[in-house]
Structures are given as C-alpha cells and as structure tokens.
C-alpha cells in the first residue's frame, strides 16, 4: 500500500513551487490532477527545449500527474473544478495573488462547503501586508530575503542557480499538506494552509540573520569558501582540478596540518590557534594551504584527506553528477516516460521499507481531460461515443 494511496490532489499550478509540492505527493501514491490552460498548458512547458524538445523544468516536476485542460474563465470550467473539489482531499494552487478568490474558490468558503478538504495556497509574500500584491519570482525573493547579499564574491553578488525560493516554498507546502492530512485523521476536519515564498526562504536564512543582527556585522561574501569557518572551501591541485575541504573542529585542524599538509608546526601557530583566529587571518592561511596543495595532483590530495578523516569533495560538473558512482551503486535511477521519449529520473530521496515510489509518465497537455470529465459525468455525448 502506497502511503498516500486514495488521496486526491487537485492542483491549479504553474512554474515550480506548487508543481514541486504536488510531485512529491504523487511520488507517495496520491492521485494528482493538474489543471492546465487549454492549448499549451502550464507555461513552464516552454521554459526550454532541452529534454527531447521538452522543458527540463517540466519533465523534472510533473511525472505521475494527470493533465486536465481547464478554462477557468468560463462557467463550464468553474463547474468542472467545483465537481472535482467535491471529492478532493487537497486543493493546491500558486496562481497570482487573489486569482483563485476572484474565481469563486476562496479557501474558507471551500472549507465550509467541504469540511474535510485541505486548501493550500503558495504566494510570493502572503495574503496580507504591504507586499501582498507584489509580483514574486525566485530571483526577486532571493533578493528580498537577503540571500544575494551573502552569496557570490566580494565584488559580485550572485543568485543561487537553482530555484531555491520556489523549492523551499514547495517543500513546506508538501510537508504542510502531510501534516494537515495527519491532523485530519485525528480531528476529521480539513485545514487552510498558506505558504509564502519569502517566509519559506526566510526560515533558511536563520544563521546569517543571527550572525549579522547579534554580531553587529554583515556576513561577507566569500565565493565558494565559508564566511565563518577556515580553512573551508576550494583549492587547486597540480593537475588543474578543484578540491574542496572542510575543517570543522580543532582535532581535524591538527590532523590536517600533520597528515595532509605535513606541516605539524602550523597547528601550533598562535595566529591559527582556533577557528576565530584562522578566520581573522584567512588570507594568509589560505595562501599557505593553497601553496602546499597545488604541489600535488587531486587524487593524492583526496587520498590524504580521506586518510586524515577530513571532509572533502570534487567539484563535479553536471555530467559528472549524472554519472556519480554513489548514485549508480545505490540504484537511484529509474526510467520515466515523457511524451517525447524516456528519460532518466532520480528516485525521491526518502527511502522507506515496503514501497517503491511512483514514477509514472509525464503527461502531455490535457492528456487526461476526457477521462476525468467522464468520471465526473460531464463528458458530452458526442465525445463519449468516440
């Protein structure tokens, strides 16, 4: 039995945040009905054409869903949505602020009409406050949450290259819906959930916020190095590769000096006596470490770090990540069918005894419309005769 078998999710979703949440639900066995605009559907289908002519975003986020073409500007479309919600467990949406309310599907009204339904909305800034009507995209939320102020080099602030604000909001929607389903089992009552992208990403900004507010100093941008731990970050090897290493405590620092750098006297230097001292003398220490490590090829450095039990990593390209031996050894890949052919997809990161996650096809726009309308008894006679 799949964990969410028997749960039906109706989603008015687009782009990333809500589709990310609903795909996690589908992975666990929920039936996800994705309402899309008639014709081209979710605009994320056209973000790029890299996966057999399809959008990489869409293929990633929309497997195992049923696509329903639905014109919500028409009375017929609204009627179809109403019929769907009569039997739905979850109603998820991330349309523009106020759009769902204007269509006549305000959350508290739905909860009064369907007492067991769970209504979850995702927006940029929430339903109240001075920013409630402001448009929100991932980069803009990263800016508002202060993420760009601490990401990048001292000269150039940089965005996180994945849609981290959307993903964080989608993840809180996913866990929030699971929580609401659990609570419904105890109380018999549904819930109204609200997720703000700003507030979701703000939760992840706790460390730099506390560091700055109570330390009275803005966290500095340090590229791929760590702003408050040293040595921690990238170093070049003699064969031109980049090796990352992370020192977490004084025991590791002593082993690093002794077994990796072969400079045991360095750990006794008062300028590097503890992490705060090392951060204060970061430029000097990084130059000493860099000069030492660049005499050796990457494999030698990594072997020394492993032997000394110092955390380390290679800087993989995306192709190297795709071919990662750890993922292959653990059987983390499955084939998923898309309208333009099969693709490789990672199994969801949660591993649980007793079930295999759902990895069903990615739908074409409106692929399941007739099937869903027939279930609702809304298929016109000439269409049902096909």
Question: Helix H segments across 9-154?
Answer: 17-27, 56-61, 75-87, 99-102, 107-113, 138-144, 147-150
Residues 104, 52: Cα–Cα separation, whole Å: 39
Which residue, among 24, 21, 18, 79, has the nearest Cα to 44 in the 3D structure?
A: 18
Question: Which DSSP helix (H) or strand (E) runs through 370?
Answer: helix 369-375
Give me the numbers of helices (H) and strands (E) for the chain, helices first please. 18, 11
The answer to whether 82 and 50 have CB atoms below 8 angstroms apart is no
Q: In the chain, which ranges are E strands? A: 8-12, 31-36, 65-69, 90-93, 118-123, 191-196, 232-236, 242-246, 311-314, 333-338, 341-346
CA quadruple 160, 163, 168, 169: dihedral positive or negative?
A: positive
Whether 79 sits among the annotated catalytic residues: the reply is: no
Of the residues 226, 307, 324, 368, which is catalytic? 226
Burial level of 192, CB count in 10 A (0-12/13-18/19+)?
middle
Active site residue ranges: 226
């Amino acid at each position: 039995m799949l964990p969410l078998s028997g749960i039906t999710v109706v989603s008015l979703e687009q782009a990333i945040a809500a589709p990310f949440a609903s795909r996690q639900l589908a992975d666990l066995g929920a039936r996800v009905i994705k309402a899309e605009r008639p014709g081209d559907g979710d605009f994320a289908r056209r973000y790029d054409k890299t996966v057999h002519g399809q959008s990489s975003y869409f293929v990633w986020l929309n497997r195992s869903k049923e696509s329903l073409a639905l014109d919500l500007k028409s009375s017929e479309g609204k009627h179809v949505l109403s019929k769907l919600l009569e039997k739905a467990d979850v109603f998820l949406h991330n349309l523009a602020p106020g759009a769902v309310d204007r269509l006549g599907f305000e959350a508290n009204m739905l909860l009064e009409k369907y007492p067991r339904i769970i209504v979850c909305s995702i927006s940029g800034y929430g339903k109240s406050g001075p920013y409630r009507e402001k448009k929100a995209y991932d980069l803009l939320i990263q800016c508002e949450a202060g993420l760009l102020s601490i990401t990048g080099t001292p000269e150039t602030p940089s965005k996180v290259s994945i849609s981290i604000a959307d993903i964080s909001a989608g993840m809180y929607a996913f866990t929030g819906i699971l929580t609401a389903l659990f609570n419904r089992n105890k109380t018999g009552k549904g819930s109204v959930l609200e997720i703000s992208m700003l507030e979701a990403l703000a939760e992840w900004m706790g460390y730099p916020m506390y560091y700055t507010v109570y330390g009275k100093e803005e966290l500095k941008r340090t590229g791929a190095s760590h702003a408050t731990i040293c040595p921690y970050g990238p170093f070049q090897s003699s064969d031109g590769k980049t090796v990352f290493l992370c020192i977490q405590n004084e025991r590791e620092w002593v082993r690093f000096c002794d077994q990796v750098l072969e400079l045991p006297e360095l750990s006794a230097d008062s300028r590097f006596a503890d992490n705060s001292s090392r951060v204060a003398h970061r430029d000097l220490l990084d130059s000493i470490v860099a000069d030492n490590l660049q005499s050796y090829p990457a494999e030698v450095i990594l072997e020394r770090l492993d032997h000394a039990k110092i955390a380390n990593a290679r800087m993989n390209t995306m192709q190297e990540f795709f071919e990662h031996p750890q993922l292959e050894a653990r059987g983390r890949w499955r084939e998923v069918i898309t309208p333009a052919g099969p693709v490789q997809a990672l199994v969801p990161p949660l591993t649980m005894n007793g079930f295999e996650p759902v990895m069903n096809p990615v739908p074409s726009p409106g692929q399941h419309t007739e099937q869903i309308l027939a279930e609702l008894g809304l298929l016109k006679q000439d269409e049902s005769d096909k």
